[in-house]
Each structure stands twice: as structure tokens, then as C-alpha cells.
Structure 1
């Protein structure tokens, strides 16, 4: 009975609404022009009759329309704010030429080292990837002699056939008269061997990989000073973060900290379909890691998702359950093969950098050292040559190479000439990845290094 009554009420309500509408229409008909069919005069109606939120079909449509409009406006505002934030962290690099070096220090804070006037120092960069070189570029600019640095020239070895990357190389070459290009007949490992045969005799070379994403203002002065003070050393290398040999040394010196990938349910950001090109580089900008006390992330474990981040564990003693605890002092060991160990080395370095605690990597005991720092000798072990200095004549007098350049320069030639390979432990630099560590690209590390470069090292932004 109740349902029948309810249906009758709804029907009756519709009939009443229809009758009211027809009555109102009859009142308005005399005011209509029969020829054009529109009102000539619109009577003023009370506000309640224009927009009413009383129950009814028409008012429900109004409310739905307003709700849709409000949701749309809110989405637009959120999208606009996200886009502004994204643009803020995607401003391109801008570098001065030698005629406009206002953004650089005149002495690079290396007052304790004086560049010899009779030594020509040439940077040798194996160019391959724009995404890496655009970070390295600002550090190289800072170290040109025009800006108080030690590099008289930089020779860019063209080691790619990617058209977009080569276009960026042309942009670099046009930005300074101190830049030159080294043409090769091939790319990859073929190109490496050819490039070493094109050195200029009498010059001291500083060879730098294109994926070096940080080095200190005193790194080049230190390795060059040590090489000049010790001609018996065949080459001097920088103390590299993410080096198969030196990573083990850093771990045992207390330079690595407990970091693990964030444990969180990944939700794709519809406003950022691509990874941001910049993220705050300081570790305190992020929360501490939270998760089970017995959680362990293996050195070969797959990354949780693309664009993930690693977070600091609050307890320093928890480092035993992080990937770095399995690092080895071996050229082909876990320090080379594990992307997870490499990631932990990078996040630890950024923490040490933010805390102004880079001395944890160094073995030198004097602030002013004519040798440029304290050496670590690799003694017949193959060392990564991501950042080294060597005399051109020592190479040219012994080419052609009988193996890849790294093996030849750090193992074969030192044995042949009975000369040492030294790592200057006070000259710091950061190498991003080896080919075996590709999953480091799934972290937010490159975005953090880019942020540091723009905030702390590059001349200016546009």
C-alpha cells in the first residue's frame, strides 16, 4: 500500500509542476511577438524563482552542473600549480662564454695551488650523452683558465652517432674558443683507442668521462699537482665516488650511510608522466625511511619502480642490512655489478656534501700539501679511469694499445714501465654509472645532481 501511495504522490507532483508551468506560459504569451517568437519584455522575477535549491528535477540539474563546474575548476587549478612546479625544476642550463664569466669565482677557492705557467693542461672528454654532459659542462666551464681554473683547453672526443647528442656538442663547441673536437672513425671501444693516439705532445691531459656529475673546485689542481710533484707516477686518478675499488675504501672509512628504497605503494602521477628533471638535492628535504626492522634489500634486487627514491635510515648501525655491506675490493666485484650499491654510494655522498663532511673520504693530514693530497696505490689492479691525468708523451711513446684503454693504462703499461698508478684521495669526483648499473637511472639521483649543479655550481639560469 505504501509503495502505491508513494508512486501516486510522485505522479501527482509531476502533474502539479506541469500545470504550474502551463499557467506561467499563458501569462507570458501576450508578451511574445508572434512573428519572431521571442519575448519583447522580460518581467523581473524574484531571485528564488531564478535559482532555487528546493527539491525538484530542474534544481537537481542546476546542482549537478554547478558541481561539475566546481570540480573542473579545481582540477584546472591543481594542474596549473603542478605545471608551474614542473617548469620551475626544468629550467635549462645557461653558461657564459669567456667574455661573460660573471657567475664564476675568480679563484675557485684553491688558493693553495698555483698553476705552472709552462704546463699546458688539456681536458679530454669522451662525449656521448647530452643528459650527462649538460651537468658536467658547468663544472668544466668553472675550471677553464678564464675563470680561475687550470684547464687551458678542452678537447671533446666525438664518441656518438646520435644526431640530437651531436647537435648539443656543436652548441658546446661554439660557446668557447678553448673548445676543440676530436674526430674519430668509429664510436664506442673503437673510438677510445683512436682518441689516445691524437694527443698533443708536451701537454698534460685530464681525461674525464661524460657521466661525471660532480667534482670539486680543487680536484683538477690536486691531481695535476701530484702528477707534477711525482713524475715517477704514470698517472694520477681522482678519488671517485662509485668506483669498484675506491667504494670499498670509502665504506671502511665510514663514508657510506644506511639508505634503502622507499617502501610505498606507487601511484603514477598524472600531472608528471615523465620524471622531473630536478629534485631537491639535500637529504633533509625528504622523510626518513620507515619499514620492517628486518627488511633487507639485495644487491641484485630489481628497483621498485621508475623514478623511485632512497631514504635515510635513522639508525646508523642499520648499515649492515643495506647493499653496501656486501661491497668488495675487486675490479669486477659487487661495486661494479650492483646498481644498488652504486645508488647507496650516491645517496651517501649527497648527504656528506650537504653536511660539509667530505673529509670523510680523504686521507690527507695537511690543509696545504705540495703533493696535492695523500695517494692510494692500486698496485696491478685495474682501476676505472673516469677522471685521470697523464702526460701525452707517456701515451704516445707506447701506442698502439694492445687492449682496451683502461686495462692498458692502469695494468699493462705500468707493469711495462715499472711505474705506479696513484689515486689522490683528497681529490674528489663522482661517476654516475657503469654499464652494469643501468638501474641507477630508475632512481631520482640524476635529478638531484642536476639540482645541485644549478643551485651551487652553474653560472646562472634562464
Structure 2
């Protein structure tokens, strides 16, 4: 009875109708809002520059790696006892090592870091560079100088110590990079060496060239004036977001043998990226592009890294562990025991990227060196073998120096 009378009741019937319409309206509105939020999150993650506010940055802390900073577990990892941890630093150019100096000091035991000692191995006869080296060593108790010579960093290692080989041209490292590779080495005693995640080097070159990691930077073809900023401000600004938009002909491509347009030039993002004009895209998709070891590819990678560094988006580079990579690993930032130095010297006795190293990386029996890349701790190495006709013609060293002076050096002086 109650139900029949309720159906015949006009007010009750109209109330039910309004309730049904409200339910459907809520479902449609909720679905539409949810769909739009999903689109915004996807666009914000892959193309944040298209939005005035990045919703991903509001929802998540993108500075946090998707993996733990240390190999197992989370939280603080204290410096292990019972042995010394010594940095071996092959040294050539003071202009770059003075940047690394800030990071080394920050990682000394007296500054709550892991390094008991830093030993520089001179590989240059340049008077100005050597004078600079002797001056910083004389002022720092934990610094020392070993006999000069190539491969001396492998020869002076002693079995009871843990060593971290850090090339003197390293211009950036994360605060947790050294603790991370130390922890991974202790967790994997059978591994000869644990390499840091070195930007665009060795086996990682292809990984760091993926879209979204490598951004479509192009070389500045002529000076772009910025009258609103002083020369001093420009010289001390490392931020890639302050750079102007690239300008040039629509037909421009970075080809093999591309020469620097002028000294101190910058690399800029075009307003409309093209899939075959930047060095990495040209290398992958065309026959006319440079190879992956060319200075133009390195420039594109470094500017992409600085942009991600500024955006607190370094998680794009991260991965847990890569055990026994099929291709040669960078020797420019690795952790090993002194007893393994001789074996590592034989592995790396050829220049990285040479045909000899590629052939020797796999033994006749098919085995590869027991080397692990820890993807959780980043380092950036500045390699400028072409000198003024290559990476040295950019302003990258100034940008890395400006970042270190702003974010690193101030805490260690």
C-alpha cells in the first residue's frame, strides 16, 4: 500500500524525478571533471610548458626520485666504519675542477659527508692549472696530490680502502650520489665497480636521449640581445628558463661536422620543435646527423639537464640498478675497492667509446665486466675533447659554475 500510494503522490513522484536527474547530473559532471583532470595531469607531466600552472608539481614533489636514494630501504645511511673512503680525481683543467671542488668539500667527512680524503692526480703541464691545484691543496687538510700521469689513479689504490674515481671535469653531482653508490657497492660485493648515473655517457647515452629527457635544443646562430638584464646578471644565471626562444631559418638542421657559430654561444629551445633538426633527432632518424659522441649531442644533453635541474625534474633520469650493461660504462664516476683497481685498469685502459674498448667489453667466453650502474644518483661530466671547436664554444661551464656558486659553494666555504 505504501509503495502504491507513493507512486500516485504527485509531490513524491516529482521529488523522485528531480533526485534521478540530480544523480545523473552528478555522474556527468564528475566524469567530465575527472577526464579533464586526467588530461591536465598527462599534459603537465609530458609538456608542462603548455600550461600556466603545472598540476603535477602541485600534486607531487617531482624533486623526489621514484626510487629510494639508497640501494635498500629508506632514510639516512650513515658513513660506514672500518675503512677509508678516498676520492681519486684525475685533474686537467682548473676551470672545471674549481666547480667540482665545491662538491668535493661538501662531501668531506668534516661537512658530514663520506670522503675521508681527496687525492688529485695531475694530468697536465699547464702552469696556471697546477698553481691553482697546489693552492687549494695547501689550504685543505683532506686534499693531497699524487704523482702525475695517466692511469695513476688506478695504480695508487690500496686494497684496504674504498675509492671513488671522480673525473676532474665533473661539474655536478647530487648530494646523495656518493652515499648511494657506496651503499650499492657494499650491498653487491661481487661487483667490481658501481658507477653513478653519469649524464649521456657510455651505456646511458641512448637512455638519456629519450624524448622528454633530451629536449629539442638548437644552437644560437647569432646574438640575441636581452636589454632588460645586465651582463653581470647574465653571466651568473644558470637557469635555462631565462634563455630566449631559438630563432633561425625553417630549413636549419644540425648536420655532421657542424661548427660552433661563435664563442660563448648558447643553445635555445625553438617555439615549434621539429623531429629531425636537433642533434639527437638527426642522429637517430637521419643519415646526415652527427653521431652520439659528437659535441652537439653533448651540448643538447647538458642544456636539457640544466632545464630539468631547474624544474626539479631529475626523476626523468632515474632508474634502480643496471647490472652488467652490454655496452661500456663510464669510468668518470665509480666506486670500487682498492684490490680491484688492477682489474679495472685493464678494463678501462682504452679510451671510452673506442673500438678497442667496445671489443674488450665482452670477453671471448661472452662474459661482461661485473659493473653495475646505480641510476639513483646523478652526476654530470663535461667532456670537451674538441676544445674551442666544440663544447668549449658554449657557455655551459659558466652555467655550471653559477649553479655551484649559488647552491653548493656557499655551504662549504
Query: If the length of structure 1 is used for normalisation, what is the TM-score?
Result: 0.64
Please say if 1:304 is aligned against 2:261: yes
Counterpart pick for 2:308 among 343, 352, 360: 352
Runs of 4+ off more than 6 Å: 274-277, 407-411
Deviates more, 1:108-117 or 1:252-261: 108-117
Q: Does residue 173 of structure 1 match 2:137?
A: yes
Structure of higher CA gyration radius: 1
Distance 1:277 1:137 in 2: 23
Counterpart check, 1:161 vs 2:125: yes
TM-fit CA distance, 1:291: 3.0
Alpha-carbon contact 1:125-1:155 (below 8 Å) kept: yes
Distance 1:169 1:456 in 2: 23
- Counterpart in the other structure of 1:335: 292
- The CA deviation at 1:400 is 7.7
In 2: Cα distance, 1:217 partner to 1:174 partner? 25
Which of residues 231, 243, 257 is equivalent to 2:215?
Answer: 257
In structure 2, the partner of 1:56 is none
Partner of 2:42: none
Aligned partner of 1:321 among 277, 281, 286: 277
Q: How many residues align?
A: 328
Q: CA distance change for structure 1 residues 173 and 358 in 2, over 3 Å: closer, same or farther?
A: same
Look up the match of 1:195.
153
Pick from 173, 184, 197 the counterpart of residue 239 of structure 1.
197
In the TM superposition, what are the counterparts of 1:74-89 in structure 2 within 5 Å?
Answer: none
* 1:394 aligned onto 2:336: no
Bigger mean CA deviation after superposition, 405-414 or 440-449 = 405-414
1:145 aligned onto 2:103: no
Gapped regions of structure 2 (runs ≥ 5) = 1-68, 285-289
Q: Hey, what does 2:408 align to over in structure 1?
A: 457
> Quick check: 1:435 aligned with 2:385?
yes
* Alpha-carbon distance, 1:219 to partner: 0.8
The answer to whether the 8 A contact 1:454-1:461 is kept is no
Report the Cα distance in structure 1 between the residues aligned to 2:175 and 2:104, rounded to whole angstroms. 10
| Greater mean deviation of Cα atoms: 398-407 or 438-447 | 398-407
CA contact (8 A) 2:216 2:270 kept: yes
Deviation at 1:392, TM superposition (A): 0.6
Query: Among 282, 288, 291, which residue is 2:239 paired with?
Result: 282
1:116 aligned partner = 80
CA separation of 1:299/1:445 partners in 2, compared to 1, >3 Å: closer, same or farther?
farther
How far residue 113 of structure 1 moved from its aligned partner, in angstroms, is: 2.1
Cα distance in structure 2, aligned partners of 1:400 and 1:428: 23
1:262 is displaced (CA, Å) by 2.0
Contact (CA 8 Å) 2:198, 2:379: kept in 1 or not?
Answer: yes
Do the aligned residues in 2 keep the contact of 1:243 with 1:335 (CA within 8 Å)?
no
Unmatched 5+ stretches in structure 1: 1-107, 185-190, 365-373
Matches within 5 A, 1:15-164: 111-164=75-128
156 and 277 in structure 1: CA distance in 2 versus 1, 3 angstrom threshold = farther
Which deviates the most, 245-254 or 198-207? 245-254
Q: 1:179 to 1:303 in 2, by over 3 A?
A: same
SS at match of 2:144: strand
Whole-angstrom CA distance in 1 between matches of 2:362 and 2:84: 24
Instruction: Give secondary structure in 2 for the equivalent of 1:257.
Output: coil
Partner deviation per Cα, 1:274-300 (whole Å, 9 max, x = no partner): 999934111121211133344222242
Please report how far the alpha carbon of residue 375 of structure 1 lies from its aligned counterpart in structure 2 after TM superposition. 2.4
Tell me how far apart the structure 2 counterparts of residues 453 and 224 of structure 1 sit (CA, whole Å): 23
Residues 52-93 of structure 1: CA deviation (Å, up to 9, x unaligned): xxxxxxxxxxxxxxxxxxxxxxxxxxxxxxxxxxxxxxxxxx
Q: 1:253 to 1:202 in 2, by over 3 A?
A: farther
Q: TM-score, normalised by structure 2?
A: 0.71
Partner of 1:404: 349
State the distance in 2 between where 1:340 and 1:378 align: 25
SS of equivalent residue, structure 2 residue 178: helix
Contact residue 275 and residue 307 of structure 1 kept, 8 A: no
